[in-house]
Structure 1
Amino acid sequence: MPADLFGDESPDPDLLVRGRRLAGRVVSVLKTAGAESFETARCDDLVLTFEGIPGDRHAGFTRRSGGREPWYPRGTEMANERQVSVLSAEELALVARRMDLPELRAEWIGGNIVLAGIPRLSLIPPRTRLVFEGGAVLRVDGDNAPCRIAGRAIAARYPERDGLDLLFPDKARRLRGLVAYVERPGTVRAGEAATAHVPEQWIYSPD
């Protein structure tokens, strides 16, 4: 590789955003009843291993690709970066207001950890580390795109309302929380502190 591939110029400082730490807390922890269950239920503590949440629908070192990965044939085995669903209490309340609903519960849409106090949680960038007071650490893969499956679960709670299954993907865009995988095993409990270690970011341009 030529030594001058990147030229002599330093990166434009306007394209860089410094890393930071954001403090929050765990509101609740939840898990599925089994591998076939989409919805979750609150529990006293959430045990995290390198495979994710034991017995959970999304547990495993690998997973099968689906509609979110059109670059692979459906069913292709791939690394499981979606072991844990992390939601924001503030964003859940905002989506509920946008949908004109009295409440929107994390368990209806398969959440595993609900956090409070971290602004714009769903926009936190990949590579962010979520460090929990008890020692567990999650590495963020990215935001979780809202889907009609979650919308149908919400619609089931409000049978008097039509079209909620399609309204949710529209109103929850970039407010659906994060997907993450376990970097360091441990146990997460409601009420404990959680810190987002956000890495330095930059806007990439090949020019």
Structure 2
Amino acid sequence: MSDLLPTTEPAVDIVPGRKLAARAAALYKAPFDHFETRPVDELRLGFDGIEGDFHAGATRRSGGREPWYPRGTEMRNERQLSLVAADELAIVAERMGIADIKPEWIGANLLIEGVPHLSMLPAGSLLFFKGGVTVKVDAQNGPCRFSGRSVAEHAGMADHEAGALLFPKAAKRLRGLVAWVERPGVIKAGEEISVRVPEQWIYRA
């Protein structure tokens, strides 16, 4: 039977896991009635996400990101937290021709320092906060027109609709990550983080 197995190139490319050191440079929380966030000194996290946050909950309703479900289908909330990096937001701002993009304009909860190309961290990466919290990355946070309009309005762009349309293109693969709480607790601003990047593979079969 062994001679029936393919002997050409392997079906997967495997990259070993690694560890990185990072820091929670700033923290943000959204009120119940709006996705934009406000700076805070700490975040209290439960298994449902950030206590009192706009995106808290064990489940959420599906939207345009899940075309395989009818819109509004109840599903697991893997988008409890939004993580961004200042260097990536600076690139997006430059592409849009504005001075800067503040994390709170696009509903970010954590501004992470020390991870190169934060938005490219693979699904399954774990962030171990020094105080005991663990957060697990689900996926990249795809940029949308909703956040783009917020950026355009806050930045004072002359054409808000044009800014809303430009943001998804300018922020592609630079919008940060969405994540969920694996181990609850309290995160403090400035807290150290140990990032564990899992073994990765590209499936070619």
Question: In which range does the TM-score fall when normalised by the shorter chain?
Answer: over 0.9
In the alignment, is the contact (CA less than 8 A) between 2:89 and 2:174 conserved in 1?
yes
Cα drift, residue 161 of structure 1: 2.8
Task: Indicate yes or no: 2:139 matched with 1:104.
Answer: no
- Secondary structure of the structure 2 residue equivalent to 1:115: strand
How many residues get paired? 202
Counterpart of 2:24 in structure 1 is: 26
Cα drift, residue 159 of structure 1: 3.3
Matches within 5 A, 1:68-83: 68-83=65-80
In the alignment, is the contact (CA less than 8 A) between 1:27 and 1:89 conserved in 2?
no
- Secondary structure of the structure 2 residue equivalent to 1:16: strand
> Is there any run of 5+ residues in structure 1 with no aligned partner, and where?
none
Cα drift, residue 197 of structure 1: 0.5
**Deviation string, structure 1 residues 76-133 (Cα, Å, up to 9, x no partner):** 1111100000111211112112212111100000000010110011011101101111
Task: Supply the AA of the counterpart residue of 2:17.
Answer: G
Q: Distance in 2 between matches of 1:94 and 1:143?
A: 17
Could you say what the CA RMSD is over the residues aligned between the two structures, in angstroms?
2.1
Counterpart of 1:181 in structure 2 is: 180
TM-score by length of 1: 0.91
**Deviation string, structure 1 residues 41-94 (Cα, Å, up to 9, x no partner):** 000101111000111111111111011100000111111100000111211112
Matches within 5 A, 1:83-122: 83-122=80-119
Cα drift, residue 160 of structure 1: 4.1
Matches within 5 A, 1:137-156: 137-156=134-153
- Secondary structure of the structure 1 residue equivalent to 2:60: strand
> Is there any run of 5+ residues in structure 2 with no aligned partner, and where?
none
Task: Supply the AA of the counterpart residue of 1:155.
Answer: A
Matches within 5 A, 1:122-133: 122-133=119-130
Q: Distance in 2 between matches of 1:14 and 1:61?
A: 34
In the alignment, is the contact (CA less than 8 A) between 1:25 and 1:192 conserved in 2?
yes
- Secondary structure of the structure 1 residue equivalent to 2:28: strand
Q: Distance in 1 between matches of 2:203 and 2:157?
A: 47
Task: Supply the AA of the counterpart residue of 2:48.
Answer: E
Q: 1:47 aligns with which of 38, 44, 62?
A: 44
